């Protein structure tokens, strides 16, 4: 652990942290018994610099969003240049080069057949938009055929995660998403068992039996099927067989159900393909992008769809798609997204990802021999250690900080998803830190309070 001169006094740090603890919500954290938060002063490259002086190697990419590191000169310049022109203008009746260029890039880079782009503020909103698109599409189709609208539900798989807003939440895993709390207000959808055959295992068509039955029994009620491609992220860091995704595409075609693929976590190279759909060589009808879209700089998301869906909605009763966020097409966000995508290509992301994958494969997989470990998985830049026990988050986090790394586990999962620019030594330090805490009782035992 290296220490650095900081600008805030101890008194100032403590005052800020005390206010934070008493008044500021943090994600999925109790306000009555909050987990500690660490005060960050700056971040540079792969390092997060705490106000207390520690410098931490970032293993999380700030929840899958950072690609090229923090405080990147090229991304900073894109923001500054855009700010000097305008940071934002309304997207109703106005448009601008940064948004147009971004949409052109997204259409060109994503799987074929996705030709219309809807920009929005965050991943969850892009999922709301995707679901609304599917429902408005089915409404227009039924009206055109002068039939009663019956396709008003979604079908998905268990262990999924699609965001925290209400429609997105309604297709998250019912157990980990605590659907019982929102029982009275949540839309009810159909859930198939989660994919079981793992990435790299032998495929068997038996895997599709339950899902195929749900399609067969309920397709008249189902507007769309939604799934995270290849990687079920927040629902457990599970990597499933590409044949599963391919079979989903076939079922959607067979039963006239739209396919929504949520690439918010997997997009832009994270799994070793630019988009995880490419593992199965499929194109969805609707695709959601977010997280890495701006290289981790500003919130931005996109929902892409086919010409056919856009035309059907536009020719329907409303005459337009019923959505339009205030900050749609935000110029700062689009400018930095353009710069981030250009860097991805220039930096040869394939070789960056391959290097990380090779190092994780050789260093992380052997941790499977640790008595505390249930399973270790690696795909692209994602490395996950599934433990037999739930971790003690406060204690394990403290130990990681002492070891000079930033890794935030949840449940039984200690996972890393580092920025693409991480070097071999930094990556080795991340893995060594995981190996160290696996041998420490206080990182797992809920009895140890700090
Ligand atoms: C993070 C995530 C979301 C939600 O994105 P937010 O920007 O947090 O709203 C949706 N789907 C997937 C697969 C995600 O990983």
Judge whether 406 is annotated as a binding position.
no
Based on the residue annotation, tell me whether 415 is a catalytic residue of this protein.
no
178 phi, psi to nearest 5 deg: 50, 50
264: Cβ below 6 Å to ligand 1?
yes
3-state secondary structure of 225: strand
- Probe residue for ligand 1, chosen from 119, 126, 165, 264 as the CB with the greatest number of ligand atoms within 8 Å: 264
Predicted TM-score (pTM) of this structure: 0.97
Judge whether 63 is annotated as a binding position.
yes
With b meaning 16 or more CB within 10 Å and e meaning fewer, what string describes 360-397? beebbeebeebebbebbbbbbbbbbbbbeeebbbbbbb
Residue 329 DSSP one-character state: T
CA of 228 to the centre of ligand 1 (A): 10
3-state secondary structure of 133: helix
Based on the residue annotation, tell me whether 262 is a catalytic residue of this protein.
yes
The Cα–Cα gap between 240 and 327 comes to 36
Model pLDDT, residue 445 = 80
Dump pLDDT digits (tens) for 198-209: 999 999 999 999
For the chain, percent of residues with pLDDT exceeding 90: 95
Based on the residue annotation, tell me whether 28 is a catalytic residue of this protein.
yes
pLDDT of 1 higher than 50: no
Judge whether 315 is annotated as a binding position.
no
User: Which residues, listed in sequence order, are joined to residue 47 by a DSSP beta bridge?
Assistant: 44, 57
Judge whether 137 is annotated as a binding position.
no
Q: How confident is the model at residue 446 (pLDDT cuts 50, 70, 90)?
A: confident
- Average pLDDT of the chain to the nearest whole number: 96
Dump pLDDT digits (tens) for 38-64: 999 999 999 999 999 999 999 999 999
Out of 58, 121, 173, 262, which one is annotated catalytic?
262
The residue whose CA has the least distance to atom 5 of ligand 1 is: 123
Name the residue with tokens 């590409």.
242
Report the nearest atom of ligand 1 relative to the CA of 299.
7
The Cα–Cα gap between 31 and 380 comes to 36
Q: What is the mean pLDDT of the segment spanning 211-231?
A: 98
Span of 178-187, 229-238, 365-374 with lowest mean pLDDT:
178-187
pLDDT of 449 higher than 70: no
Q: What is the mean pLDDT of the segment spanning 379-396?
A: 96
pLDDT of 29 higher than 50: yes
Look at residues 331, 347, 276 and name the one whose alpha carbon lies nearest to residue 81. Answer: 331
CA of 347 to the centre of ligand 1 (A): 26
Out of 116, 151, 273, 291, which one is annotated catalytic?
291
3-state secondary structure of 8: coil
Judge whether 101 is annotated as a binding position.
no
417: Cβ below 6 Å to ligand 1?
no
Residue 83 DSSP one-character state: H
Out of 161, 190, 244, 297, which one is annotated catalytic?
161
Contact 133, 305 (CB under 8 A): yes
Dump pLDDT digits (tens) for 73-91: 999 999 999 999 999 999 9
Q: How confident is the model at residue 9 (pLDDT cuts 50, 70, 90)?
A: very high
Report the nearest atom of ligand 1 relative to the CA of 228.
13
Q: How confident is the model at residue 6 (pLDDT cuts 50, 70, 90)?
A: confident
Model pLDDT, residue 450 = 42
Dump pLDDT digits (tens) for 94-143: 999 999 999 999 999 999 999 999 999 999 999 999 999 999 999 999 99
Look at residues 45, 37, 43, 42 and name the one whose alpha carbon lies nearest to residue 16. Answer: 37
Name the residue with tokens 């920009």.
119
* Helix, strand, coil in percent for the chain, rounding step 5: 40, 15, 40
Q: What is the mean pLDDT of the segment spanning 272-291?
A: 98
Q: What is the mean pLDDT of the segment spanning 138-159?
A: 97
Report the nearest atom of ligand 1 relative to the CA of 163.
4
């Amino acid at each position: 652990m290296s220490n650095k001169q900081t600008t805030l006094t101890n008194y100032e740090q403590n005052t800020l942290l005390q206010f934070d603890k008493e008044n500021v919500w943090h994600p999925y954290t109790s306000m009555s018994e909050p987990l500690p938060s660490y005060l960050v002063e700056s971040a540079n490259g792969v390092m997060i610099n705490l106000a207390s002086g520690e410098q931490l190697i970032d293993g999380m990419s700030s929840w899958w969003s950072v690609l090229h590191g923090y405080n990147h000169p090229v991304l900073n310049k894109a923001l500054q240049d855009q700010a000097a022109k305008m940071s934002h203008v309304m997207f109703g009746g106005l448009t601008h080069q940064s948004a147009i260029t971004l949409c052109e890039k997204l259409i060109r880079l994503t799987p074929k057949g996705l030709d219309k782009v809807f920009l929005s503020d965050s991943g969850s909103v892009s999922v709301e938009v995707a679901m609304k698109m599917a429902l408005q599409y089915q409404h227009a189709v039924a009206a055109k055929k002068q039939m009663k609208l019956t396709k008003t539900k979604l079908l998905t798989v268990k262990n999924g995660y699609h965001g925290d807003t209400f429609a997105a939440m309604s297709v998250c895993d019912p157990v980990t998403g605590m659907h019982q709390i929102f029982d009275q207000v949540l839309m009810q959808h159909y859930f198939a068992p989660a994919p079981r055959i793992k990435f790299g295992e032998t495929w068997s068509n038996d895997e599709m039996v339950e899902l195929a039955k749900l399609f067969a029994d309920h397709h008249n009620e189902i507007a769309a099927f939604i799934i995270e491609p290849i990687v079920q992220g927040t629902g457990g860091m599970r990597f499933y067989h590409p044949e599963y995704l391919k079979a989903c595409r076939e079922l959607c075609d067979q039963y006239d159900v739209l396919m929504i693929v949520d690439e918010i976590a997997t997009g832009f190279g994270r799994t070793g393909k630019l988009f995880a759909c490419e593992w199965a060589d499929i194109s969805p009808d609707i695709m959601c992008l977010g997280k890495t879209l701006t290289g981790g700089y500003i919130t931005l998301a996109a929902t892409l769809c086919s010409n056919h869906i856009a035309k059907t909605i536009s020719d329907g009763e409303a005459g337009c798609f019923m959505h339009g966020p205030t900050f749609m097409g935000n110029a700062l966000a689009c400018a930095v997204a353009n710069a981030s995508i250009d860097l991805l290509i220039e930096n040869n992301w394939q070789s960056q990802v391959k290097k990380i994958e090779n190092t994780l494969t050789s260093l992380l997989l052997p941790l499977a021999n640790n008595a505390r470990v249930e399973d270790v998985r690696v795909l692209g830049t994602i490395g996950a250690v599934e433990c037999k026990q739930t971790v003690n988050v406060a204690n394990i986090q403290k130990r990681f900080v002492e070891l000079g790394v930033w890794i935030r586990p949840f449940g039984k999962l200690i996972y890393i998803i580092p920025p693409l620019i991480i070097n071999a030594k930094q990556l080795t330090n991340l893995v060594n830190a995981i190996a160290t805490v696996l041998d420490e009782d206080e990182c797992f035992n809920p009895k140890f309070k700090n």
